[in-house]
Copies of this chain bind each other. A is one copy, B any other.
Amino acid sequence: MKATTIYDVAKEAGVSIATVSNAINGKGKVSKKKRDEIFKVMERLQYQPSVIASALMGKKTYTIGLLIPDVSNPFFSEIARTVEDLAHSEGYSVIVCSTDNKDDRVEKYIRLLEQKSVDGILIGTGVENADILTQLAEKSLPIVMIAREAVAMPVHSVLTDDFKGGALAAEHLLGGGHRQIAVLSENFKVTSSYERVRGFRFALFEAGIAVDDESIISCDSSIKDGKRAAAVLIRGENRPSAIFCCNDLLAIGALQAAKEAGVRVPEQLSIIGFDDTILSTVTNPALTTVAQPMDQMVKLAFDLLIRSAENTDEIKQRIVMQPELIVRESTSTPAN
């Protein structure tokens, strides 16, 4: 059975389609009597305007895209959920795209979203070449980067002060008396991780502590890889008394490596994560970590996205939020 169209409603209500359209959108004047009649018919026929057709006439599609590395990663699935709630409350739907941080996927998905005429794209994954974003900007497709740096790109962005976050972690460890400290990082191409490590090292440097390069390991962002990398750190000849991990996944890997090696956390080894995902509350010991105010960030980013749909060529904003240290159980003063 075909869906009912505006023609069916018009015929049934004895008016023209223009009048039905006006009644629905509250545009031109429609007498109360006809309007009531039209709504009654719409109700009876279960009429629902086709978003497709009205999008073709240049109206919005009420759909936005969300680009993230991986929805099944708790950090991003929490973002996705917040985006979704915000979006739905304003009548939008969201198409989720997991890029696995692969550049070609980023590009492919952006093209796809463009073809589908989304009203905007929220990007929470790294973007290599600014070209594609410039093209979209020219087509005035709103884009907002979230939790990722976007230097020299024609887009709004809202992110955390990752450098500061790294420093926060360093200060906490320093305060606990740690001197032998290692770092577990995601691939340095991920700017947020790079900044975190930079901030971390800077704070240590200021305190007169050096981190030798062998104690900084970078690997893929997964529990498994974190575990493997942490294992070599732990088995190494001068085992660190603390490990700073660029995200919670890596920190959990480290926790597992420690457990397997029989070293107790936090008594023999302190571990600190980043992101404050649900995972960090679930481990035992619970993970000390650095939190980003994600809900606020997402809200800001979403508003920016929707607003910039109306108000294009406005100056691109770069909003940076402050991270916060969340002390739980995985860190302490070193035993020695």
Contact = CB atoms under 8 A, between A and B. Distances in A.
A139 interface: yes
Given A56-B56, A84-B96, A284-B284, A117 B1 contact: no
List the number of copies, as a whole number: 2
Interface stretch (A16-24, A45-53, A172-180): A45-53
A204 interface: no
A81 interface: yes
A171 interface: no
B117 A52 contact: yes
A231 interface: no
A41 interface: no
Contact of A77 (B52, B61, B72, B116): B72
Nearest to A117: B52
A112 interface: yes
A98 B77 contact: no
A293 interface: no
Contacts of A53: 56
B70 A81 contact: yes
A112 B62 CA distance: 10
Given A1-B140, A52-B61, 4 more contacts: A71-B84, A84-B96, A223-B282, A284-B285
